[in-house]
Chains A and B, each alone.
Chain A
Amino acid sequence: MANKLTLTFKGALDPIKAKLTGKTAPCKKIESEYVLETENLGITFGGLKAVQGVNLKIKKNEIYGLIGPNGAGKTTVFNLLTGVYIPTEGTFYLEGEELKGLAQDKINHKGIARTFQNIRLFNNMTVVRNVMVGLQNQPEYKCTLFESLFRLPRHFKVEKEMRKRAKELLEIFGLLEERNALACNLPYGKQRKLEIARALATNPRLLLLDEPAAGMNPNETADLMDTIRLIRDKFDMTVLLIEHDLKFVSGLCDRITVLNFGTALTEGTAQDALNHPDVIKAYIGN
């Protein structure tokens, strides 16, 4: 009898235990050849199915595009993947590890970092400190509060290494000159780049870029395409991006998925997907 009870209630207290200890149960793992794999991912707000049945399979070192008309649910997918929303249906795996239900900071630690559609930098911090905020949760830069309160040598060592790493990142993005400027005083294009640098500082395996080219002029856009390719090669990165600029998408992305009304219309190489009759219909009608 007792055995039966324990069987029935096994796991019932896990969420509470996890809350108390701050630890989560080890994540479910599956065999997966993909960096990101989503399985019927979806979320319902009240009665509204905002995103439904999205299956993305993104290979390592791919630059993958997520496109679709306004309100198609692209940013919602990003919010699901970063833990801002918890999926009501389906789940997703990062290199075979299920991350559904983890808090935003935990998902970031697992290796997904993002930028925002409307820039969200720490405006009143200097450029270099913005990047350091991204860096400081990396295990190699760990130092305890005690160590930094009492200014032990490790504190200085870690700070120095972080500053060095931050400068390296800023150099890649051509922001080294402005490292001591306040983030809010940077021109728009550079703010976008700084956001990418800050996201990369958290050492992700998958980088999510939400409309990285929005508001950029053609020169800046071309420059950004090179930068994203550089990130892929230099950081061995996999990139998932949302973009409206179809030239940008077809020039940069290996494969794309087209979303409309929260569901995937089609997926494939940029050329194939953009010429798909359903996609043309979604964008310009019959």
Chain B
Amino acid sequence: MNFITNLIGGLSLGGIYAMIALGYTMVYGIAKMLNFAHGDIIMVGGYTILVFTAQSVHPLIAIALAIVFCVGLGVVVERVAYKPLRGASPLAVLITAIGVSYLLQSLAQMFFGSGTKMVTGLDLGSFNIGSLKISVSTIVTLLSCIAVMVALNLFVKYTKTGRAMIAVSEDKGAAQLMGINVNLIIMITFAIGSALAALAGTFYLMRSPSIYSTFGSLPGIKAFSAAVIGGIGSIPGAMLGGILLGVVEVFANSVSAIAPYTDAIEFAILIIILLVKPTGFLGKKRREKV
């Protein structure tokens, strides 16, 4: 019985990681950069929800506003910080992303202080099936994650924008010479990634309603690991990696002997998988052409 609870909990946490990982992997696939500020978009989403629920705005509206705000923020960050560096060395872009990450964290501390704040109104209660106690938020998270992933897959496969995204990820130069507006596609990618981050932040808050300025760092870094495990740049890979890490985390947490080492176990998995399969599960092999 415990096993089923853990499995559901693991899948739902994995879904959250997968959603964040999608942001990392899509931006990497299309703009060829690691957006280390992605985790902090989650934090900004969380604080947005905090601000609005404190004004007794309905939680659903607060969530919608958080998504809108994060999309705006993601697009602005891309325009202001990353776009001028297109064509610059990857290291310059990487350090800029880290800078943006610290900037967002510091801004959050400036506005909300460094203490932990509680978000209310996101607790959906729980229900029992036989002796099984399942919280509603877990189920909501799981279902939403499945819906988001299906929708995203359909979007990439069957819309023109999705097709343009794949074209840009394969060969930016050729895509542009075929008439695709690469800057617009990168902007859309950031918008989608940020929307997913805001949604993931919401679900993360449902699990534990406390928020602080480095709220997004740990889930961000875990989701990044998930993206790497799955093969960075690959959308199904990010989903797979996220779910794997989520399930491992919940199961490790449930065994009291190894619970304190949960994070270590997760990152150990990352290392082992990279040793065995350096490109991740579904990553593209890079062939050297002679």
Contact = CB atoms under 8 A, between A and B. Distances in A.
B277 interface: no
Given A84-B173, A120-B171, A125-B166, A198 B161 contact: no
A148 B161 contact: yes
Interface string B106-124: 0000000000000000000
B92 to A, nearest CB: 21
Interface string B158-187: 111101101100110111111111100000
A148 B177 contact: no
B179 A109 contact: yes
B261 interface: no
Contacts of A202: 178-179
Interface in B146-168: 155, 158-161, 163-164, 166-167
A198 B179 CA distance: 11
Contact of A136 (B158, B164, B182, B188): B164
Nearest to B167: A133
Given A122-B166, A122-B171, A104 B155 contact: no
Interface string A76-110: 00000010100000000000000000011100110
A46 B97 CA distance: 31
Contact of A104 (B159, B161, B166, B176): B176
A71 B163 CA distance: 36
B242 to A, nearest CB: 23
Contacts of A198: 178
B173 A145 contact: no
Interface residues of A, number: 32
Given A136-B160, A148-B160, A104 B177 contact: yes
A171 B279 CA distance: 38
Contact of A124 (B161, B163, B170, B188): B170
Contact of B155 (A105, A122, A149, A199): A149
B167 A145 contact: no
Given A122-B175, A148-B158, 17 more contacts: A84-B173, A105-B177, A105-B179, A105-B181, A108-B179, A113-B177, A114-B177, A121-B171, A121-B174, A122-B166, A122-B174, A124-B170, A129-B163, A132-B163, A133-B163, A136-B160, A198-B178
Interface in A212-268: none
Contacts of A124: 166, 170, 284
Contacts of B160: 136, 143, 148
16 contacts: A84-B173, A84-B177, A104-B173, A104-B176, A105-B176, A105-B177, A116-B174, A122-B171, A124-B166, A124-B284, A125-B166, A132-B163, A133-B163, A143-B160, A145-B161, A202-B179
Contact of A133 (B155, B159, B164, B181): B164
Interface of B: 155, 158-161, 163-164, 166-167, 170-171, 173-182, 188, 284
A18 to B, nearest CB: 13
Interface residues of B, dominant DSSP: helix
A201 B178 CA distance: 9
Interface of A: 82, 84, 103-105, 108-109, 113-114, 116, 120-125, 129, 132-134, 136-137, 143, 145, 148-149, 155, 159, 198-199, 201-202
Contacts of B176: 103-105, 108
Contacts of B182: 105
Contacts of A122: 166-167, 170-171, 174-175
Contacts of B179: 105, 108-109, 134, 137, 202
Nearest to B188: A145
Nearest to A112: B177
Counting chain A CB atoms within 10 Å of each CB, the highest count among B160, B181, B182 belongs to B160
Contact of A123 (B158, B161, B170): B170
B180 A148 contact: no
A109 B176 CA distance: 10
Contacts of A104: 173, 176-177
A122 B171 CA distance: 7
Contacts of B161: 145, 148
Counting chain B CB atoms within 10 Å of each CB, the highest count among A105, A120, A143 belongs to A105
A202 B160 CA distance: 14
Contacts of A134: 178-179
A105 B186 CA distance: 14
B180 A137 contact: yes
Contacts of B167: 122, 125, 133
A104 B171 CA distance: 14
A246 B161 CA distance: 42
